[in-house]
Structure 1
Amino acid sequence: MLMVDKFLDYIKFERNYSPLTVINYRKDLIEFERFYKELDPLLSWESVDSDVVRNWMEYMMDRGNSASSVNRRLSALRSFYRFALRRKLIEKDPVHGLQGPKKQKPLPQFLKESEMDRLLDPKMWTDSYKDVLARTIIVTFYETGVRLSELIGLDDKDIDNITCEIKVTGKRNKQRIIPFGKELAELFAQYQQVRNTTVKGDSVAFFQTEKGKRMTGEQVR
């Protein structure tokens, strides 16, 4: 443990790591040492190779540890071996070039049909500009499938309530025409009427804030 103690003193006194980080690093290194000793009692910090580190990662994943947890422990081991290599305490770094497990992306959350029906129900909303705007945005997303960037980029000229078509500008300025139904056309007309009597300004944007500015992505969210 002499090598580990030198490393812990280094991150504590020279790098000024927090006491909690030092404790966690010590715990991670002790766990790794326990693991490789169980594999082979003759192994040491100097003789461990990359296969042993890979086995350790697989062992942790098999025990249900998340990718984030495994990567955190691997980071502690990587920092330790970099220190040891710089101080010439070892001849080679077994962690060099190893990649930790990729983090799994969370599955998207979907609304149930009954929940969506309640969300679109006009009775759920007031006649205020804020509510009319919010409901129009939700129905537009739901019926047309436009992206957020496409929605906030819509201008009045892009909405045709006669032909029931929206002209959207997507990535690399590519334009496409999206048809929509009579219900959305009526909602667009209602929204524009409320907007034009409530909002002051000369913005050409279709979806506007109460101050007459084009909505940002954050405001839509």
Structure 2
Amino acid sequence: MATVLLTGFEPFGGESINPSWQAAQALDAVWLDDEVQIRAVQLPCTFADSLQTLEQNISRFKPALVLCLGQAGGRTDLSFEKVAINHIDARIADNAGAQPIDQPVIAQGPAAYFSTLPLKAMLSHLHQAGFAASISYSAGTFVCNQVFYGLMHLLQNQPQVRGGFLHIPYSPAQVLGKQQASMSPELVVQALKVCLPVALQTEQDWLIAGGTLD
């Protein structure tokens, strides 16, 4: 049996919900097929505790793949992050009141890590299934990027485990009366059921044109 570990965050920034956890939680204990089960864990939105919680649950579940989810208000689609940087610059305080500025995620760590997921193959399958999705080249400088960088740093010693990060838009409940993009957690769940098997089964990512011009 193989395990996929999904993580989502607790609410932050004055919100009462976080769609990243709503989507991850909906898939907890779900079987992708006869051999692969998903387990979901909520991470605290704090610089002090998020990586410790992540590491504890990787040790607990021993997953073949880890995908961390995070809320990114203002995003209009499923945004798979390509790169995590070794830099924290918190525009707002985390849920513990901490607001580190211009600090490394890991002291003496490399400047950046790349996702080890086959992002272009995953995107192609999502597009074919009618989902709005893209590759992002900035995961920000808040707790999401810290978790993404910390995950990839941790997996340097576990090269058999694939890892990455997905930012999702606000949920519809968060944008009532506002002119902002949203995506329901239920739609995110459907998209994950499409792309997670691709992530597990694709050994070499597809060599197709992508990237940005700005």
TM-score normalised by the shorter chain: which range applies? Answer: under 0.3
More strand by percentage: 2
Q: Determine which structure has more spread, i.e. the larger CA radius of gyration.
A: 1
More helix by percentage: 1
Q: Which has the higher contact order (CA 8 A, sep 6+)?
A: 2
Length-normalised TM-score, structure 1: 0.24
